[in-house]
Structures are given as structure tokens and as C-alpha cells.
Amino acid sequence: MSKVAIIVASDFEDSEFKIPYDKLKQAGHTVVVVGTKRGEKVEGKGKKESTSVELATADAKAADFDALVIPGGYSPDHLRIDAAAVAFVKGFIGTGKTIAAVCHGPQLLIEADAVRGKTLTSFASVKTDLKNAGANWVDQEVAKDGQLVTSRTPADLEAFSKAILESLASKTNGATESARA
């Protein structure tokens, strides 16, 4: 099974953290909550969910994970000003490892310069930011472009979570097949 980082700061979109987290755990993956300060309790913007940061962004390395999930809400905007968080995201770029972002999550991808020439979706208010950063924005429940998996809103979370799980399964199967060759 895979080891997945979910990067959050305060005011994340409650369901955009909880649903992918639960789906990944139910599928047997190890999920690690990454944030700016280890041990810090962060709360969703709707105050329905909270979690504790298990690994600080300053100590997080992309090499230790198979995938990254970026929930939306105000969290990505808080994280994009943290140099260690941006460096962590940049560490995934070009590795082929899944980077999944929903709603406002692509704001962190913009800061990490990961969207130029890519087709992505997001919450409508992030559309112009993505276009200005060189992305091709589409209005669909899930957009996949290489290692990037993006989605628009909480209404798309089932499809988003399914796309993440499919991406992880294809990487696992590919690694198994490569090992046999």
C-alpha cells in the first residue's frame, strides 16, 4: 500500500480533508497529516473537522511519500506563504507521484510553479489564477494531467477520491509489473 501526505493548515474545507482521508485509510493506505508545525491542532473552516499535524513541512520530504493530497478552503492560501510547504510540493513535481488538489488546493500548485502547460480544474474563483500561471482550466468534476489530479468542489469529492485511488493503484501495479520484468 501507499504512503500519502495530506497537507493542511487552519481553515481547510472540512469535507475536502475528511472524505479523501477516510477513503485512503479504508483502502489500506497510510495517511500522514503534514502542516507547518508538528503537533499543532488545525481546524476546518466549518468547525466540523479537526486534525493534528503529524509531520512539519520543514521535515517533510517528497521522497518519503507516494502521493500528496491538497484540500481546499483557506488552507492552501495559508500554506503558500510557508517556504517549507512550497518546497515540499515542489519536491513532488516531475516525480510521477500523484499530486491531487481540490477546490482552492491548486493555489499551492501555482505557488510551486507546477501548473504551466497543464490542464486542471478548481473552484471557479481560482480559474483566472490558474490561467495566469499558464494552465488550461476546464470545468469538469475531475481533471487528470500526468501526475496532477484536480477537482472543483465538495460535490466532486467521490469522483476526486476515486481518481486518487485509481492513480495509486496504477502506480502500484506498474511497480509490481516492473519488478517482475
Q: Is the Cβ–Cβ distance between 167 and 145 less than 8 Å?
A: no
47: in domain: yes
Amino acid at 29: H
> What is the set of active-site residues?
103
149: in domain: yes
H helices present in 43-156, as ranges? 75-79, 83-92, 106-111, 127-132
131: in domain: yes
Can you tell me the distance from the alpha carbon of 58 to that of 143, in angstroms, rounded to the nearest whole number? Answer: 30
Q: Is the Cβ–Cβ distance between 49 and 19 less than 8 Å?
A: no
What CATH number is given to the structural domain containing 58? Answer: 3.40.50.880
- The domain in which residue 149 lies consists of 3-171
Mean pLDDT by 10 residues, the chain (181 residues): 97 98 98 98 97 98 98 97 98 96 98 98 98 98 97 98 96 47 39
179: in domain: no
Radius of gyration of the chain (CA): 15
Can you tell me the distance from the alpha carbon of 5 to that of 58, in angstroms, rounded to the nearest whole number? Answer: 14
| pLDDT of 98 | 97
| pLDDT of 171 | 77
The half-sphere exposure of 86 on its side-chain side, counting CA atoms within 13 A, is 12
Q: Is the Cβ–Cβ distance between 164 and 69 less than 8 Å?
A: yes
Q: How many domains does the chain have?
A: 1
Can you tell me the distance from the alpha carbon of 74 to that of 99, in angstroms, rounded to the nearest whole number? Answer: 18
96: in domain: yes
| pLDDT of 172 | 65
180: in domain: no
Q: Which of 106, 25, 18, 114 is nearest to 62 (CA)?
A: 114
